[in-house]
Amino acid sequence: MEHTVICRNVSKIYRQDAVSVQALTDINLEIPRLDFVCLSGPSGSGKSTLLNLIGGLDKPTSGEITVDGARVDLLDKGALAKLRLHRLGFVFQSYNLIPVLTARENVEFVMQLQGVRAVERSEKARDILKEVGLDGLEDRRPGELSGGQQQRVAVARAIVSQPSLVLADEPTANLDSKTAENLMQLLRHMNREHGVTFIFSTHDRLVMDFSRRLITLHDGRIVDDRKRE
Partner 1 sequence: MTITLRLAWRNLWRYPRRTWLTASAIAFVTLLMVFLITLQLGSYDLMVDSSLRIFTGQLQVQREGYLDKPQIRTVVPEALALAQRMRQSPALANVGIAARAQGFALASSGRRSYGVQVVGAEPEHEPRVSTIPRLMKSGRYLSRLDAPEAVVGATLARNLNIKVGDELTLLGSAMDGSVAATVVPVVGLFESGMRELDRQLVELPLRTFQETFGMGDAGHAIVLVAPDLKALPQLRTAVAALLPEGRGLVALDWERLIPGLKQLIQADWASGWFTYIALIVVVTFSILNTFIMSVLERTREFGAMLALGATPARIGVLVFFESLFLTLIGLALGMGLGLLVAFYFSVYGFTYPGLAELMGQYGLPGLIYPKLSFVSVALGPAVILGFVLLASLYPALRIRRLNAVEAMHAV
The residues binding partner 1 (CB under 8 A) are: 52, 55, 57-58, 78, 81-86, 88, 90, 92, 96, 98-101, 105, 108-110, 112-114, 157
Between 81 and 206, name the residue whose CB sits nearer to partner 1: 81
Between 55 and 63, name the residue whose CB sits nearer to partner 1: 55
Work out how close the CB of 176 gets to partner 1 at its nearest, in angstroms, rounded to a whole number: 23
Q: How far apart are CA 2 and CA 4, in angstroms?
A: 7
Decide: helix, strand or coil at residue 104.
helix
The answer to whether the CB of 124 falls within 8 A of the CB of 85 is: no
Work out how close the CB of 77 gets to partner 1 at its nearest, in angstroms, rounded to a whole number: 8
Between 157 and 191, name the residue whose CB sits nearer to partner 1: 157
Residues with Cβ within 8 Å of residue 21, at least 6 apart in sequence: 13, 14, 15
Between 62 and 114, name the residue whose CB sits nearer to partner 1: 114
Work out how close the CB of 205 gets to partner 1 at its nearest, in angstroms, rounded to a whole number: 26
Between 167 and 210, name the residue whose CB sits nearer to partner 1: 167
Distance from the first to the final alpha carbon of the chain: 19
Closest CA to 3 of 199, 189, 159: 199
Work out how close the CB of 90 gets to partner 1 at its nearest, in angstroms, rounded to a whole number: 5
Work out how close the CB of 228 gets to partner 1 at its nearest, in angstroms, rounded to a whole number: 28
DSSP annotation string for 56-87: TSS--SEEEEEETTEETTT--HHHHHHHHHHH
